[in-house]
Each structure stands twice: as C-alpha cells, then as structure tokens.
Amino acid sequence: MEIKQSIPPILRPEKTKPVSFLDLIAKFQLEYSGPDAILTGISMNTNDLRPGDLFVAMPGLKTHGAKYYEKALELGAAAIITDSEGSQLIPELSIPVAIIENPRGNLGGLAAYVYGNTAGNIPTLFGTTGTNGKTSTTYLLEAVLRQLGRTTGLTSTAERHIAGEVIVSRLTTPESTEMHALIARMRERGVTDVAIEVSAQALTQRRVDGMIFDVAGFTNLSHDHLDDYADFDEYLRAKAALFTKTRSRQAVVCLDSEYGKRIVELAEVPVTTISSIASVEADWHVQVTAELPGRTEFELHGPKGEKLSSSVPLIGAHMALDAGIAIVMAVVAGNSFAEIAKAIDHGIDAYLPGRTELVSPAGAPAVYVDFGHSPDAFLKTLSAVRKVTSGKLLMLFGADGDRDASKRPDMARVAAAGCDILVITDHHPRFEDPASIRATLVNAAREFRPELEIHEVSPPEKAIRVAVSLVQPGDAILWAGPGHQDYRDIQGVRTPYSARAEARAALQESGYL
C-alpha cells in the first residue's frame, strides 16, 4: 500500500521579537497609509501561516497567492504584502495591505527583517555550492567547527542540525522564509556557526536572499541539472552568483575541475584556491596519504608552510579533498590553523548519511549506499570503492524520472566502465515510464561495453536481492542514487522506502546477518 509521506513542519524560533508593520514599511520604502500591525513571523504559503504572520502573496506558475487572502485572514495573518496584480484581487480588509512590486525578489529581505537576521546579529554563515561534494563539504565543515568547540548549525539535502539536535530536512532547498526562520531558531539556541548547502536552484530561485555568507565554497561543476538550465554556461553562472558581493564576503574555490578557474574569474570577492592536483597552482593542496576501508587519510599544505595530517571516516580521495575545502573555509573565516590542526589530529568526526555508507557487516560482501546521481559522482565513487575492494565490484543504479534526461547515457557509460557487473533498476520514476528509463540506461551501457554482464531488474527491492546473489565476501556492491532518502517518488506519491533497510534485508535473507 502506498502511504503519502508527511513533510515535517517548518522550523521557527520559539519566541520572536515583535516587529511593527509601519517600521517594515518605512524600511522598504513602501507606499502605505493606514493602521499598524504587530508581526511575529512571515509566510508565503497558507499551509504554514500562523497567527501574527505577514502573508506575502506572490504570483505563482498557476495562480496568484492573493487569491488566498480569506484563508490567510482565517489563519490569523496580521498583514499582507502583495504586488499590484494581487492588490486587485484583495478587497478592503480589516488588516493592513501594502504593495511591493516583485515580491519574490524582496521576500528574503522581508524575512530577514521580520526575524531579526540583521548584520552583527547572526551566526557566521558558510555556504558551499558545486555539482558534487557540497553536502559532504558542509558536513565536514560543521564537524571541524564542532571539534573546535563552536556551537554549530547545518542545513543540507538530508538534515538540519541545531546545536546538536538533528531534524530531517523538509525540502532540499528551503524557501527564504523558512531559511530565515531556521537561522533565527539557531540564534535562539546559541549557534555560532552555520554550514549551509547551496544549490544552483537556491540561487536562481532566490531562496538564500537576505543572507550574506561570510565564506562561500566551490567544489566542482559537472553534467547535471540541464533540465533547469538552458546550457552549461547558464548552469555555471547560476553557481557563480554565490561569489558576488551581494551574496558573500570571501571565497574558497577548488581548482580540480576545469570550471574552478572560471569561478575565480567571475568572483567579485577575495578568493583562496585549493587543489588535490600537485601540478595545479593553488594556495592550498590536499594530498591523500592512505585509502583504507572506512577511512581516508590526508595531508593539507598551506601557502605559508602550514601542514596538518588528518583523516575522514569515508572512502575516496574526493572525500579528502572535500575535507580540505572545509578546513580552508574555516581558516578563511578567521579560525586558527594551529587550533584546527590540533582539534582534528585524530580525524574529523563526521557522519554523512547516505554518502558511500557501508551498510553490511564484517564477513559479508561490502554494500555501499550512495546518494550520487551524476556521471562525475559515479566516476569518483566507483574509483573509491574499487581501491578498497579485493574482489568483484557490482554497480546498482537507476535514474530520476522527470529530471535531466541528457545525463542518463553518460551515467550508464561511466557505470559500465567502472564495474564488473551492472544491475540497472528504478529510482524515482515520478511521472515517467520506468521501463523507458531503464531501456535508455541498458542500451547505453551495452553499446559502450557489450561484453559486460548486465542485468535489468525491477523494482529495486528485487534488484538488490539479485545483486546480493551475484556477489560473495570480498566483493562489493555500490548502490548509487537513493542514499539517505526514505522514499521513492512514484506518480507524485512519496512512497516510504529505504535502500539501507532493503540492502540489510537482502543480506539477511542470504545468511549474512
């Protein structure tokens, strides 16, 4: 039976300092003459509107938010801001109504003002972007800061962290109203530093408006999200927006991908560079010293002779590079390199849900569940698993439906090149025909490597059991795509599902648990 997954509520501060509507009007220089109102929150959606909120009624793809003014009144909205079009839909009300053109473009600023997230009154903000690695860099940065004794917050694809409290994320990229409510709650809990995963969509859809990052980080850029952007150059420029003066103060840019140099050229803020390639000229360099099952050891070398040795509880040279980016971001923010080196001398203590996560016990075939869903992510993760696997390497994956279809053949080719056995299954079909998605992947893999053993198995519950039957101790399975997620999107319904749980069940049924 399919059960629609409930989405956790938006996190808000427990207490807010009331804001005068007239003061807000004066701050944003809006034309309004009428009574005042006291605001204690802000919402753009009546599904989360609470008494005392400012309701920002914006035009949407299908309808205008102003059409929901009655619902907003019923729920206790204290005031409404909308555009000229929206004002024509709202009659004279008992609460104040003001006009601001381009409400979407002003939403972040309004939210920052309502929640008091003003300069000098917020934690140190770190924002990391990139096609791959932004989640791991965000988690590793939070861990470094925590080991320094800071009180940390985090918001990522998988989770929100608030001073040690862990909450499942509602959405990959929260709206600016939710983001500012979250920052205010973190302030309330004494958080000093916040690590934030920033997607290209978060920038183009203005979901991090009203925030200036103290340090912005760039990991890499590769083929992904071309369903949202017209071409690769548009995708690049969407990421580059994080490194403008309106978005950040300083930057740390990795030069391992060819687009790192482009980001440096486009950046409007001071840039510190880093690379894991010895021949690349950069301020900092990461050198992997050991790749072991469950741990990668590395050294970080700085421009003034700085050096530290540490490790991450993850496999892969790319994870060591992400750790290096995180450390340099902490240094650029003003933290002592010597103190960082001492704090992480015995390793960075981080848990990254669904990132090359080993879910099998000793004595069983190694089964790794990973969130990677792009050709570049496959390439790096397959390489990492191969280096710690003595036997065969089996790759299990599917592709997203209703998302960038142009990357599917490359995903299949990279998977076929890097494994000994390939099992292709379903992922999030959404409203696409899953058989058609699988056919594209199978055909591309077979054309690229005809001699490879390839299995097409649906659904994924069956596919992981077939995969386990094809390997033995000493072999490894890399299940790419689902990672930490606890659902599959099928015909618009979030069906509860856990790749980690299914993998463990398959191992148990085969006598390994």
DSSP 64-98: BGGGGHHHHHHHT--EEEE-HHHHTT----SS-EE
The per-residue b/e assignment along 477-500, b for 16 or more CB within 10 angstroms, e otherwise, is: bbbbbbbbbbbbbbeeebeebbbb
The pLDDT of residue 179? 95
DSSP 372-394: --SHHHHHHHHHHHHHT-SS-EE
Phi, psi dihedral angles at 331 (to 5 degrees): -65, -45
The pLDDT of residue 224? 53
The pLDDT of residue 90? 96
Comparing CA positions, the residue from 246, 245, 240 lying closest to residue 209 is: 246
Task: Compute how many other C-beta atoms are within 10 angstroms of the C-beta atom of residue 84.
Answer: 9
Domain ranges (residues) in the chain: 19-115, 124-343, 357-509
Comparing CA positions, the residue from 244, 245, 266, 262 lying closest to residue 254 is: 262
Burial class of residue 246 in the structure, from the number of CB atoms within 10 Å of its CB (0-12 exposed, 13-18 middle, 19+ buried): exposed
Burial class of residue 331 in the structure, from the number of CB atoms within 10 Å of its CB (0-12 exposed, 13-18 middle, 19+ buried): buried
Q: What top-level class would CATH report for the domain 124-343?
A: alpha beta
The pLDDT of residue 233? 79
Q: SS3 of 129, please?
A: strand
Q: What top-level class would CATH report for the domain 357-509?
A: alpha beta
How far apart CA 236 and CA 221 sit, in angstroms, is: 7
Give strand ranges (E) for 90-175. 97-99, 124-129, 152-155, 159-162, 165-168
Comparing CA positions, the residue from 413, 408, 444 lying closest to residue 426 is: 408
pTM for the whole thing? 0.90
Dihedral angle, C-alpha 369, 374, 376, 379, nearest 10 °:
40
Cis bond before residue 459 (omega within 30° of 0) = yes
How far apart CA 142 and CA 322 sit, in angstroms, is: 12
| Residue for token pair 């015995």 | 346
How far apart CA 178 and CA 171 sit, in angstroms, is: 10
The pLDDT of residue 168? 80
How far apart CA 89 and CA 217 sit, in angstroms, is: 43
Half-sphere exposure of 35 (CA within 13 A, CB side): 10
Per-residue pLDDT of the chain (513 residues; tens, 9 = 90+): 233 334 566 899 999 899 999 999 999 999 888 899 999 999 999 999 999 999 999 999 899 999 999 999 999 999 999 999 999 999 999 999 999 999 999 999 999 999 999 888 999 999 999 988 999 999 999 999 999 999 999 999 889 999 999 988 765 568 999 999 999 999 999 999 999 999 888 999 999 999 999 999 999 987 554 556 668 778 888 889 999 999 999 999 999 998 999 999 999 999 999 999 999 999 999 999 999 989 999 999 999 999 999 999 999 999 999 999 999 999 999 999 999 999 999 999 999 988 899 999 999 999 999 988 889 889 999 999 999 999 999 999 999 998 889 899 999 999 999 999 999 999 999 999 999 999 999 999 999 999 999 999 999 999 999 999 999 999 999 999 888 888 899 998 989 999 999 999 999 999 998
The domain 19-115 having CATH identifier 1.50.10.10: the answer here is no
